[in-house]
Amino acid sequence: MDPDHVPSDLAGVPEHAEVPAIVTALDGGEHAEAVWLNGLGGLTFRIPGRHAKWQPGSAVDLADEAARLEWAAEFVAVPSVVSFIREGDEQLLVTETVPGISAVLEPWLSRPRETARALGAGLRAFHDALPVEECPWTWSVADRLARVADPSARERLVDPGVSKLVVCHGDACAPNTLLGSDGRATAHVDLGALGVADLWADLAVLAMSVTWNFGAGLENEVYAGYGIDPDPVRIAFYRELWNAE
C-alpha cells in the first residue's frame, strides 16, 4: 500500500519534525516547515514558494510520482515538478506550491457537508479532464490483486467489472485535494499511483476517507458532488481491495 494512503495513526500534520539535511540544503531550506507526515515516516515540508516531499527508504519511488505529475500537469491543476533528488536511501521531490488548502485543514474541517460535496465535484472534474487513451499507466484490479499478500483476501475479492474507465488519482483521500477560498477544488496532490481504472476505485475510497476525517453521514454528499448514484457492490469491492493491499 502506498504510504500516503495508509489510514495510519502516524499520518497527519506533525507537531515536531526534524528537517533532514537534504531539505535544509535546498535554496530556502533553512525556512522549511513540516506540513504533513505520511504513514511510513515520509515528510512534506513547505519552503518559500515550493513544497519538498522527503521519503526515507525504498517503500515508494518518488520518481514515479514526478513522472505522473509532469504528465497530468498538461490537463489538470497539480504541482509542477522542480526537481527530484535521490541520495543513498533518501528521496526528495520538490514541486512548486499550488494555491489552496488541504480539505482536512481549517476552514474546511468546520464545513464538513460543504467540503464533502466539493471533494466529489473536484474528483469528477479531475476524472473528466484526464484522457484515458493517452495515460501511460494503469491501476488495474489485476495488478493490485497481485500485490495482496493474503491468499484468502485475494479469493474473496471478486472483480465486479468496469463501470467506466477513467484516469484515477490513485490516492483520492480527502487530504490530497486542495480547496480555494470559494470552496472549490483548486488542485490535487500526491499522484504516485495515478493510472487508468474504474472510477469507483477512486470514488469509493474518497467517500470512505471523508468518514475518517469528518465523521459519518457524509458519503452521499461526496456522491452528489460527483453527480452519481452510489454503487454498493463496487463501493464494497474497492474498499476491501484498498484495505487488503
Yes or no: say if 53 and 176 are a contact pair by the CB < 8 Å rule.
no
List residues forming the annotated binding site: 176, 190
* Nine cell digits for residue 71: 504528465
Nearest to 195 by CA among 128, 138, 140, 147: 138
Q: Would you call the peptide bond into 107 cis, given omega within 30 degrees of 0 as the criterion?
A: yes
User: Rounded CA gap, 96 and 52, in Å?
Assistant: 9
Round to whole Å and give the CA distance between 191 and 170.
7
Cα 82 to Cα 97: distance, rounded to the nearest angstrom: 10
Residue position matching grid coordinates 474507465? 165
* Cα 203 to Cα 100, 115, 172, 226, distances in angstroms: 21, 15, 7, 8
Residue recorded with cell 483520492:
172
Active site residues: 171
Per DSSP, the three-state class of 138 is strand
Residues 86, 88: Cα–Cα separation, whole Å? 6
What residues form the annotated binding site for Mg(2+)? 176, 190
